[in-house]
Amino acid sequence: MITHYKKIAAELSVAEKQVSTTVGLLDEGATVPFISRYRKELTGSLDEVQVAAIRDRIQQLRDLDKRREAILKSLAEMGKLTPELEKQINEAETMVLLEDIYLPYRPKRKTRATAAREKGLQPLADLILEQKRIDLEPEAAKYIDEEKGVNSAEEALAGARDIIAEHISENADVRTKMRALFLEKGTFQSKVIAGKEEAGIKYKDYFDWTEPVKSAPSHRVLAMRRGEKEEILWLDIQPDEDEAIQLLDTIFINGNNESSQQIKLAITDGYRRLLKPSMETEIRLFTKKQADEEAIRVFAENARQLLMAAPLGQKRTMAIDPGFRTGCKVVCLDEQGKLLEYTAIFPHTGAGGVVEAEKTTRHLVSKYAIESVAIGNGTAGRETELFIRNLNLPSVNIVMVNESGASIYSASEAAREEFPDKDVTVRGAVSIGRRLMDPLAELVKIDPKSIGVGQYQHDVDQNKLQSSLDDTVISCVNAVGVELNTASKQILAYVSGLGPQLAQNIVDYRNENGAFKRRDQLKKVARLGDKAYEQAAGFLRIRDAENPLDTSAVHPERYNVVEQMAKDLKCSVKDLMSNQQLRKSIPLQKYVTETVGLPTLNDIMDELAKPGRDPREQFEAFSFTEGVNAITDLKVGMKLPGIVTNITNFGAFVDVGVHQDGLVHLSQITHRYIKDPNEVLKVHQKVEVTVTEVDVNRKRISLSMKAHEPREQQKPREQPKYQHKPAPEKKAQNQPETDMAIKLAALKGKFK
């Protein structure tokens, strides 16, 4: 384990002690948010990115150790474990190298080589590999044995070549070099399957496509694989065959005689029949893994930005799920999002419907003192927005809300549990209103895969995607903090140290005993022990609590520090929180102890200044261009306001209010060169775009942001604290997937 700590410390450029302490905390059940927020003295102030990287890497190394032990046990049972082989296995630092070493000994189904060995041809193969100048014909004739199925010298030589071909393909050094060749000089080659041209028109770009493996971006790799899976494309991965065979010749041919010629034949056969298919499978898996990691990083980053979108806050809200023929479902919510009343209006079905809809809407706005109207951006969304704006409602914000996933929520168990007697359209409207008030609190009720961001999310490793999104949601929830007395069980489940069962127990306790007045009341919740309390307490807030510190992110284990500060200043904790001059007079060094250092004390001072502060941006009202409601309304050259709805590696999708997002290609985002749209944009960002192309039939809109950016002001937006850095170009190695630069870059995307 000490070796593991040293390795991880070197990979992440941190101290070995930081790694060992962090692993210890993780093994004790501490969460990433808790460790990075409340154990800074122990970890040397490691942030979420570093803690998560340590967590993932130590698990990878432990998995490697388990496989190593299993291989050693297997070889010992087979009687094949020599001191030299044991040393090789113990020194293998990657799973790929470990499997390469084990490959020749691994139990396998019958092969041409095993059949040849059963015929007694191993000595002939060994003789050929010596490449001595001998007459092979009479030597091979010695192995003719009709009972064993060797009927001629040529059959004996063919069997020996089969043994040599397998020996070459299973050689660990050969596999390492061949893997490097495939990664450095291999190409993806895709072609359309004959007769599938029309059915696969969306893959037209890949009908005759060649691209280097090392530079193929993730979205193209996933697109080609999807085309292959749908049986539209034929896909192959390989380097130049002559170069590959030449590499093998260099390794194995050391003469120019009959034996050398037999080895050359074995090399060509072994490459085509064994090594090339094996390497292609490996490279397919590796490039898929790389593409998955990049797509998951993009998805997680988009999800983070959407979850951390600016909340409107506690406002009395009317929410509308728009529709034409079936009408618009209208709900009224109080400041906490509680459903007060629901109805339907029909503003798009004729004069009578418009008059009645206007009357009903004005009545509800007046009755419930509505402050904001949230309108879903789906079918009839822009028309409904125009209807509401024409009412000229005084002091009412009108906001279009992205309704992606609202229908998923409306049919979910969570929605049925909350509104068992309400129609799915009513539930959907409630979700639209609540996500305007607090996007994070509402979106955690929906599977992150259904919130309308990301690329190829259904093609990537679903377990890794779920793990990444869970990390992202947990990070967001704990960064913002949760109001204990109003939080749903869904958002409580993501709080550090809790989970679905404890979240339900908290809600049950709240329902039976009323609102929490103090944090320490959590200890009375069923099955919520000291460890869960330690992990969760700092992330839970109680508005108007008996102890003012319960409204902040100060952890209860540090209340005594704040109380001592107040005592020394002869004031109350409440005074300390409200009086900046008192706080400025505190000599922090005085309160440093073995367990409480300046990092924690500075965090405490920040919280005393702004208890329970919300790290999200302030809400800004936004509206689309009037009169532009459908793709047919667009004209090339139009300048429009829009909202970024999704970010991919090749650009960003922007909603301009026509029910079809337009694409701002990477090259059209800014005048300066960028590799990643996240350098400039984020999901839910308001932008100005120009229409450059409209294809009504294919429902494609091309946009540009360049015209709205003065060349002298080509600065990127201010980046969040944890900024993703593109991974460096990857070099071929025994196990590229363990390159920690790649892993850390991916994690930084999660925890930005």
* pLDDT-based confidence at residue 711 (cuts at 50, 70, 90): low
* pLDDT exceeds 60 at position 678: yes
How much is the average pLDDT of 736-744? 42
Which pLDDT value is given to residue 710? 60
Q: What angle do CA 487, 492, 496 make, to 5 degrees?
A: 140
Question: Can you tell me the distance from the alpha carbon of 677 to that of 679, in angstroms, rounded to the nearest whole number?
Answer: 5
How much is the average pLDDT of 691-719? 75
How much is the average pLDDT of 51-64? 97
How much is the average pLDDT of 213-238? 94
Going from the C-alpha of 652 to that of each of 386, 403, 698, 705, the distances in angstroms are 27, 19, 18, 11
Closest CA to 469 of 306, 264, 240: 306
Half-sphere exposure of 139 (CA within 13 A, CB side): 17
Q: What would the pLDDT profile of 522-542 be if each residue is shown by its tens digit?
A: 999 999 999 999 999 999 999
Percent of the chain past pLDDT 70, that is, above it, reads: 94
* pLDDT-based confidence at residue 404 (cuts at 50, 70, 90): confident
Closest CA to 502 of 513, 511, 490: 490
Lowest mean pLDDT among 83-92, 153-162, 450-459, 501-510: 450-459
Lowest mean pLDDT among 38-42, 228-232, 319-323, 728-732: 728-732
Closest CA to 657 of 322, 299, 300: 322
Task: Give me the residues paired with residue 375 across strands.
Answer: 320, 400
- Residue 527, token pair as written in the block: 């099955």
Going from the C-alpha of 189 to that of each of 96, 240, 241, 481, 598, the distances in angstroms are 25, 12, 14, 49, 57
Question: Can you tell me the distance from the alpha carbon of 318 to that of 331, in angstroms, rounded to the nearest whole number?
Answer: 6
Q: Across all residues in the chain, what is the average pLDDT?
A: 91
* Matching residue, tokens 């984020």: 682
How much is the average pLDDT of 75-96? 95
| Beta strands, E only, 239-316 | none
Which pLDDT value is given to residue 675? 87
Q: What angle do CA 733, 739, 743 make, to 5 degrees?
A: 155
Going from the C-alpha of 37 to that of each of 116, 161, 257, 305, 601, the distances in angstroms are 63, 63, 70, 21, 12
Which pLDDT value is given to residue 709? 67
Question: By three-state DSSP, how is residue 468 classified?
Answer: helix
Which pLDDT value is given to residue 48? 96
DSSP codes joined into one string, 61-89: HHHHHHHHHHHHHHHHHHT---HHHHHHH
C-alpha dihedral (530, 533, 535, 538), degrees to nearest 10 = -140
How much is the average pLDDT of 330-337? 96
What region does 36 belong to: left with phi over 0, alpha with psi -120 to 50, or beta?
alpha
Question: Can you tell me the distance from the alpha carbon of 702 to that of 239, in angstroms, rounded to the nearest whole number?
Answer: 36
The set of residues, in sequence order, having a beta carbon less than 8 Å from that of 222 and lying 6+ positions away, is: 288, 291, 292, 295, 455, 456, 459, 460
* pLDDT-based confidence at residue 31 (cuts at 50, 70, 90): very high
Question: Can you tell me the distance from the alpha carbon of 431 to that of 278, in angstroms, rounded to the nearest whole number?
Answer: 50
Q: What would the pLDDT profile of 455-502 be if each residue is shown by its tens digit?
A: 777 888 989 999 999 999 999 999 999 999 999 999 999 999 999 999
Instruction: Compute the residue count for the chain.
Output: 752
Percent of the chain past pLDDT 90, that is, above it, reads: 82
Closest CA to 216 of 646, 729, 679: 729
Q: What would the pLDDT profile of 551-569 be if each residue is shown by its tens digit?
A: 999 999 999 999 999 999 9
Which pLDDT value is given to residue 741? 44
Question: By three-state DSSP, how is residue 701 classified?
Answer: strand
* List of domains in the chain: 2-75 (1.10.10.650), 112-303 (1.10.3500.10), 317-437 (3.30.420.140), 631-713 (2.40.50.140)
* pLDDT exceeds 60 at position 392: yes
Which pLDDT value is given to residue 1? 64
Which pLDDT value is given to residue 733? 37
Most confident of 6-10, 448-452, 731-735: 6-10
Directed axis angle between helix 48-78 and helix 83-91, to 10°?
Answer: 170
Question: Can you tell me the distance from the alpha carbon of 559 to that of 353, in angstroms, rounded to the nearest whole number?
Answer: 60
Which burial class, exposed, middle or buried, applies to 257 when counting CB atoms under 10 A from its CB (0-12, 13-18, 19+)? Answer: middle
Which pLDDT value is given to residue 726? 37
Lowest mean pLDDT among 136-145, 447-456, 637-646, 695-704: 447-456
Backbone angles phi, psi at 630, to 5 degrees: -140, 160
* pLDDT-based confidence at residue 731 (cuts at 50, 70, 90): very low
Which pLDDT value is given to residue 372? 97
